[in-house]
Amino acid sequence: VTTVGVLPPDVRYVDAHCHIDLFADPTATMRSAREQAIAIVAMTNTPSVFRRMEQLACEFDNVFCALGLHPELVAERHRELPLFNELAAETAFIGEIGMDGAKGRAELPRQRRALDEMLAACRPGRKHILSVHSRRASADILEAIAPGFPGIVILHWFSGSLAQAQVAAERGWFFSVNLAMTRSQSGKTLISRLPRDRVLTESDGPILLSEGRRGGPADVVSVVEYLGAAWGVGREEAREQVLHNFERCLRASHASAP
Ligand SMILES: [Zn+2]
């Protein structure tokens, strides 16, 4: 496991948003990804599980552990924010954080306060790499993470408007796209508009996909295949582009490391 973001030289693919700790067998999932040369950014949903995720991943050089507090757990777990503040100095990777308006807007002010606190914890010392959830809250996220925020922002499974995507792209933000997006009309349209140098791949595993099977890191191979076709460049060039994009995120984070 690594928290500074050094990519093993043989890595070919990237899963920029995966919930390794929620798989029935996290070790087998990471081992299989290692065999397929897939680097993983392992999300955590609450600060109190970050250490456990680090332990799970300690023998894997392809897994980066991210510190998170999922927006849907903010109401229940906001008391863990001090722990987030403490751990933020130890890792370059943050996620899953963000806001979620799918169950109405009542929880958004509290989610926003928690997000503001977490973003403030990210400032000192280094540029963090953030995986951000924005379901039914894209405008809120564009407001919460101001232009000029000193970190690398990756919008995970973005489902806002094309205009909002353009604003995010102009700010230099990245987008991690998954298999579900390659199968929905809105996802396909979004992907066709994104600048290629801002696109990353993700599985969001082990979420249940529509066809009744769970997502996992290997999905990113199919996503890359889709991107190759959508961009008209073929699978290998798309794979290199996505890997290169992820390397740029790591380099930008490194350049600022204390
Ligand atoms: Zn997620």
Residue 2 confidence (pLDDT): 47
Residue 50 confidence (pLDDT): 98
For ligand 1, the distance from its centroid to the CA atom of residue 43, given in whole angstroms, is: 7
Which residue positions in the chain have pLDDT lower than 70? 1-5, 210, 255-258
Give me 1's structure tokens.
């496991």
Residue 145 confidence (pLDDT): 97
For residues 165-196, one letter each, b for 16 or more C-beta atoms within 10 angstroms of the residue's C-beta and e for the rest, the string is bebbbeeebbbbbbbbbbeeeebeebbeebeb
For ligand 1, the distance from its centroid to the CA atom of residue 93, given in whole angstroms, is: 14
Residue 125 confidence (pLDDT): 75
d(CA 139, CA 107): 15
d(CA 159, CA 38): 25
What phi, psi does 36 have (nearest 5°)?
-90, 10
Q: Do 30 and 63 touch, CB atoms closer than 8 A?
A: yes
**Protein residues placing their CB within 5 Å of the ion ligand 1:** 96, 204
Q: Do 46 and 69 touch, CB atoms closer than 8 A?
A: yes
Residue 189 confidence (pLDDT): 98
Residues, the chain, total?
258
Residue 213 confidence (pLDDT): 79
Give me 215's structure tokens.
């997502």
Residue 234 confidence (pLDDT): 94
Residue 210 confidence (pLDDT): 63
